[in-house]
C-alpha cells in the first residue's frame, strides 16, 4: 500500500544535521575549483502524517493465541518441501521495535516503545475490531504522545524448494527459500480527531544456494527463526518508510575560491557546521571579482539548502547564476525548484 509525501518542518526538511557524511573528490568537471560533496538528504515518506503528530507510541496487538516462539535452532531442511504459514512472537516483536527505531532515527518523530507493549488477545481472529477512543486517549495521556501505531496482524509464509541436478561426473544441489510477510497496522489519534488509518505492508525475501554437496547447501540456507526475524525487520522498516522520511545518499558541489580567508569555511562543512560556514562566506558575498563572487553565492545556496531553507537557497543560486553563468548553477537552481514544488504538493497531502 503506497502513500503520498510528508511536508517536514524547517528543522527536519532536507537537513543533513547529525547524519551528514562528507567526502571531497576531484571534480569530474575541468574546473579544478569545483569539488564534489556527498551528503544524506531526507526523502519524503509515501504517507505523510499531519504536523499535529510529533510523537508516537508503538504497540503490538497482532499476537493471537496461535502465536508461538518458534525454535531458534531449527534449520529449513533443504531435503523437504515446506509451505507453511508461521505466526512467530519474536518476529512480530522485532517488527515493532525496528519500526520504532527507524521512525525515531528519521528525525521526524519522538517515539516511545513501552516495556509492556503487547495488547493481550485470547482469540484467533486475524484482525480485531479497532481499539476504542477511550483506550487510545488513555494511552496517549499515559505516554504523552500524539498518536498510537499498532501492529494489528502479522503473518509469514515460508516456502522452500529443493532439487538435485545430476551430471555425468557430479551432482549439484540447489535450494531456495521464499518468505512472504503480510502485516496490517493502524494509526490511532485521540479524541476521534481523524479516522483510523490502516496500512497493509507486505513483501517477500528470497534465499538461494547452489553447492556441490548437500551439507554445504544446507549450511547456506537460513534457519527458520532467522528467516522469520528477517521478515519482521523488513516489515518494520517498510512501515517506517510509509509514514516517516528516510535518508539517501546524494551528491552536491561547492567551490574553492583560492582565497584562504574564504576557503576557511571548507573544514566547517566537513564537520557539518553549515551555519558557521555560511557566516564566513557571507562576508565575501559582495567581493569585486565576479568569478569569486559567483562561487561564494553558489556556496551560500548550498549552505542554505543544508540548513533547511530552500527559498534562501534558490535566492543565492539565482544570484550566482546572474553574477556569472555556469551550467552547474543552472542545474542546481532546477534541482531546488523541483524540491520546492514537491514540498508544496505534498504539504497538501497529510493524514
String of DSSP letters for 227-281: HHHHHHHHHHHHHHHHHS-EEEEEEEEEE--S-HHHHTTHHHHTTT-HHHHHHHH
pLDDT at 6: 31
Same domain, yes or no: 64 and 201: yes
Q: Is residue 11 scored above 60 in pLDDT?
A: no
Q: Which residue has better confidence, 205 or 194?
A: 205
Count of domains in the chain?
Answer: 2
Same domain, yes or no: 195 and 157: yes
Q: What is the dihedral of CA 301, 304, 308, 310, to 10 degrees?
A: -40
Q: What is the dihedral of CA 288, 291, 292, 298, to 10 degrees?
A: 120
CATH number at residue 127: 3.30.160
Same domain, yes or no: 183 and 132: yes
Q: What is the sign, positive or negative, of the torsion defined by CA atoms of 110, 116, 121, 124?
A: positive
Q: What is the 3-state secondary structure (H, E, C) of 168-196?
A: CCCEEEEEEEEEEEEEEEEEECHHHCCCC
pLDDT tens digits for range 275-288: 999 999 999 999 99
Range of the domain at 325: 24-42+254-346
Q: CA geometry: angle at 157 spanning 207 and 112, to 5°?
A: 95
The last residue of one of the domains, among 243, 269, 303, is: 243
Q: Is the pTM of this model over 0.85?
A: no
Same domain, yes or no: 59 and 92: yes
pLDDT at 130: 93
pLDDT tens digits for range 241-267: 999 988 888 999 999 999 999 999 999
Q: Which residue has better confidence, 249 or 77?
A: 249
Q: Is residue 235 scored above 90 in pLDDT?
A: yes
Closest CA to 87 of 176, 161, 153, 178: 153
Same domain, yes or no: 106 and 136: yes
- Residue 14 counted as domain residue: no
- Residue 187 counted as domain residue: yes
Q: Is residue 341 scored above 70 in pLDDT?
A: yes
The answer to whether 48 and 349 are in contact (CB under 8 A) is yes
- Residue 182 corresponds to which cell in the numbers above? 503480510
- Percent pLDDT > 90 in the chain is 60
Give me the phi and psi of 142, to 5 degrees please. Answer: -65, -40
pLDDT at 77: 57
Amino acid at each position: 500500500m503506497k502513500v503520498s509525501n510528508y511536508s517536514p518542518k524547517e528543522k527536519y526538511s532536507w537537513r543533513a544535521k547529525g547524519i551528514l557524511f562528507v567526502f571531497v573528490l576531484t571534480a569530474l568537471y575541468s574546473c579544478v575549483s569545483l569539488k564534489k560533496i556527498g551528503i544524506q538528504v531526507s526523502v519524503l515518506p509515501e504517507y505523510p502524517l499531519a504536523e499535529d503528530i510529533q510523537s508516537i507510541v508503538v504497540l503490538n496487538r497482532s499476537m493471537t493465541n496461535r502465536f508461538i516462539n518458534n525454535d531458534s535452532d531449527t534449520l529449513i531442511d533443504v531435503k523437504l518441501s515446506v509451505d507453511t504459514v508461521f505466526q512467530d512472537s519474536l518476529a512480530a516483536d522485532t517488527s515493532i521495535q525496528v519500526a520504532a527505531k527507524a521512525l525515531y532515527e528519521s528525525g521526524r518523530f519522538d517515539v516511545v516503545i513501552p516495556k509492556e507493549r503487547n495488547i493481550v488477545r485470547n482469540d484467533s481472529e486475524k484482525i480485531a475490531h479497532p481499539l476504542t477512543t477511550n483506550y487510545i486517549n488513555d494511552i496517549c495521556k499515559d505516554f504523552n504522545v500524539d498518536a498510537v501505531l499498532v501492529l494489528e496482524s502479522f503473518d509469514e509464509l515460508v516456502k522452500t524448494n529443493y532439487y538435485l541436478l545430476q551430471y555425468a561426473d557430479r551432482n549439484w544441489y540447489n535450494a531456495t527459500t521464499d518468505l512472504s510477510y503480510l502485516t496490517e497496522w493502524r494509526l490511532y489519534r485521540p479524541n476521534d480527531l481523524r479516522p483510523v488509518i490502516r496500512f497493509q505492508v507486505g513483501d517477500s525475501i528470497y534465499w538461494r544456494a547452489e553447492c556441490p554437496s548437500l551439507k554445504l547447501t544446507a549450511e547456506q540456507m537460513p534457519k527458520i527463526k532467522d528467516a522469520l526475524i528477517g521478515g519482521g525487520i523488513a516489515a518494520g522498516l517498510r512501515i517506517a518508510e510509509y509514514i516517516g522520511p528516510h535518508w539517501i545518499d546524494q551528491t552536491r558541489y561547492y567551490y574553492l575560491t583560492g582565497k584562504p580567508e574564504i576557503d576557511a569555511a571548507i573544514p566547517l562543512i566537513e564537520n557539518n557546521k553549515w551555519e558557521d560556514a555560511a557566516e564566513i562566506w557571507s562576508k565575501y558575498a559582495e567581493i569585486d571579482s565576479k568569478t569569486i563572487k559567483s562561487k561564494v553565492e553558489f556556496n551560500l545556496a548550498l549552505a542554505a539548502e543544508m540548513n533547511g531553507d530552500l527559498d534562501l537557497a534558490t535566492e543565492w543560486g539565482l544570484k550566482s547564476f546572474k553574477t556569472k553563468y555556469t551550467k552547474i548553477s543552472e542545474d542546481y537552481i532546477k534541482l531546488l525548484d523541483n524540491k520546492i514544488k514537491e514540498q508544496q504538493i505534498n504539504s497538501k497531502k497529510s493524514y
